[in-house]
Chain A
Amino acid sequence: MPAVLIEDVHKSYGKLEVLKGVSLSVETGQVVALIGRSGSGKSTMLRCINGLEAFQSGRIEVAGHVVDQDPKRLRALRKDVGIVFQSYNLFPHLTVGQNIMLSPRITKNVPQAEALALAKDVLAQVGLSDKFDSYPDNLSGGQQQRVAIARSLAMQPKVMLFDEVTSALDPELTGEVLLVMEKLAKGGMTMILVTHEMNFARNVANTTVFMHQGKIWEQGPSRELFAAPQTPELQGFVKAGAQG
C-alpha cells in the first residue's frame, strides 16, 4: 500500500477552484517534489495532506489515516505526518530543546528523560547539538529551519511534508537546510516537498510532479522529466528556471 494516496481531490475558495482533480500516489521511502508557478495549487495540495486545508471532494489517505476534518482523527494523523513551513514557525517563547520536546511529551506522553534523549538525537541529526538551550531568536534562518525539521522528526513521523522550506532563506543559508533534507531522503524517509530548488528536485527527488492551473500537468522520474519535458508549460517553466 502506498504511504500517501491522493484520489481526485477538488478544492475551491468560494468560486475559485484551486485544485481541479488531483491524484497522486507516493510509495514508502519515496521522495516527491511538487513544482510549478505560484498559484498552481502545489502548496494547497501539500497542506491538504495533513488537513491544514479542507477539500470539498476526493480522498486522501496518509500512513493509514484517512484525511478529514474530524479533530480526533486529524490529531492521530498528525502524529504520523510532519510538516515544515517556509517561515519555520518555531515557538519563540521556548528554547530549541523545549520546542522539540514539547509535542512528544504532551501528545504521546513520552517521559521526560526519553524526550530529552530524543531531542538530543534529532538535534544531532540536523547538526545543531550545541544549540539545545538557545532561543529561536538567537539563531540564523537556516538554523531555525533545521530546528523546525528536528522538531518534526522528534514525532517520529512516517511521512514528512516540506512547504517551500528554503524560500525565506538567504541563498547562502539554503545549502545547510537542503543538506539535512538530502540526508533524510537517503535515510529512507517518505517525503513530499514543494520547492523552487530545481537542482534539488532533479538530484534528490525520485519523482517530480509539475502542477499547473490546479492540476497535475506532468509527472515522472525527476531526471527524465527535467531532461525531456513533454508539455510546453513545463518546457517554459524549466527554461525560465534555468535562466533565473
Chain B
Amino acid sequence: MPIQFQFEPIFAESDRIVDGVLLTLGLSFGAIVLGLVLAILLVAAKSLLGRWVGLLVDAYVELMRNTPFLVQLFMLFFGLPLLGIRLPGTEAALLAMTLNLSAYATEIIRAGVDSIHRSQLEAGLSLAMTRRQVFQHVVLMPALARVWPALSSQFVLMLLASSICSFIAVPELSGTAAIIEQNTFRSFETYIVVTLIYLVLALTLKVALDRLGRAIFPRISSVDRLDAKAEAA
C-alpha cells in the first residue's frame, strides 16, 4: 500500500503553530538574555569575591551540567509547589531554561576570562582601576568576544532543548505538535512540519547570532576567538 501523506489537516491548525513558534522564541530569547546576565554575574562573583563564593559557583555549574534538563524542569515544576511556590508551566519552563543556560554560559565565559592575558589585568590595576573596574572594562568584553561563537552554539542548543518543556504541557512548538497530533491523527506529517520549523528557527538563529556578534564585537578577528565547544543541554 502506498503511503498517503495529508498535510491539509496540519495547515488548518496554522494559528496554533504560530502561537507555538512565538512561545518557543519567547522562551528562548528570555532564557538567553536572563541566562547570559546571570552567567556574567556568576563569573564576576567567582572572579571578584572570595574563594567560598567561587566554590559555590563551581558547585552550581557542575550540578546543572551533570543532570538532565528534563529533571531540572521536573524539580521546578513539581518540587517548588511543595515549598508553596506554585509556578505555571511556562514560568517554570523559563526559569529552568535560564538556570540551565546560565551554567553552561558561566563555564564558557569563564574560559574566555581565563584566556585574557595577565598583563592586561596588571595594566588595568596600574591605571588605578579597582578589580571590579578591571573586570568590567578590561576583561569582560574581550572575553565575551572570544567566546561568542561557543556562546552562540549554546544558545542554539537551548532553543532546541526548549522542546523538552512540552513534557510539562507548555504549549510551545513541540507541545503544540502534541495537540495537533491528537486533533488530526496525522503524527508523521505533524512532526515533519514541526521539525522543519525547528530547522529553520535554529539555522536562522545561528546566522542572526553570527551577525550580532560581528556587530557587537567588530574589532575582534575570528583568529582571536577561543575554540571553546558548546555542549548539548
Task: Check A-B contact in the complex, CB < 8 A.
Answer: no
Which of B's residues lie within 8 Å of A, judged by CB?
none
